[in-house]
Amino acid sequence: MNRSFTSIVVLLSVFASFAAAYTTIMFPNTQECYFERMKTGDHFSITFETAGKLPIDFVINDVNRNPIYSMPHTGEGSYNYVSTVEGRYSYCFKNNAPHEIVVNFNPHGPEEETFLAGHDASPAENEVRKLSHNIEEIKDHFNFMLFRNEVHEHSVSDTQKKMFNWAILQTLALAGACGWQIYYVRSLFKIRGVV
**What is the structure's pLDDT at 119?**
55
The pLDDT assigned to 5 comes to 43
Q: How far is Cα 66 from Cα 17, in angstroms, rounded to an integer?
A: 29
Mean model confidence pLDDT for the chain: 82
Q: What is the pLDDT of residue 16?
A: 42
Cβ distance 25 to 86 under 8 Å? no
Alpha-helical segments (H) within 22-122: 110-117
SS3 label, residue 75:
coil
> Are the C-beta atoms of 51 and 147 separated by less than 8 Å?
yes
- Look at residue 86 in the predicted model and tell me its pLDDT: 92
Q: What local confidence, expressed as pLDDT, does residue 113 receive?
A: 58
Nearest-angstrom CA–CA distance, 48 and 29:
19
pLDDT of residue 51: 81
Q: In angstroms, rounded to a whole number, what is the distance separating the alpha carbons of residues 18 and 138?
A: 11
Strand, coil or helix: 20: coil
Instruction: Tell me the HSE value of 53 on the side-chain side, using a 13 A CA sphere.
Output: 3
Question: What pTM value is reported for the model?
Answer: 0.58
> What is the tens place of the pLDDT at every residue in 166-191?
999 999 999 999 999 999 998 888 87
CA end-to-end span of the chain? 101
**Cα–Cα separations (whole angstroms), residue 11 to 16, 17, 163, 194:** 9, 10, 48, 90
Query: CA 96, CA 73: separation in Å to the nearest integer?
Result: 9
Provide the residue-wise pLDDT of the chain in tens; the chain has 195 residues.
445 544 444 344 434 444 457 889 999 999 999 999 999 888 888 888 888 788 999 999 999 999 999 999 998 888 888 888 999 999 999 999 999 998 989 888 777 655 455 556 678 877 887 787 778 778 877 877 887 788 788 888 999 999 999 999 999 999 999 999 999 998 888 877 665
pLDDT value of position 106: 86
106 vs 18, 124, 136, 169, 194, CA distance in Å? 10, 27, 9, 46, 80
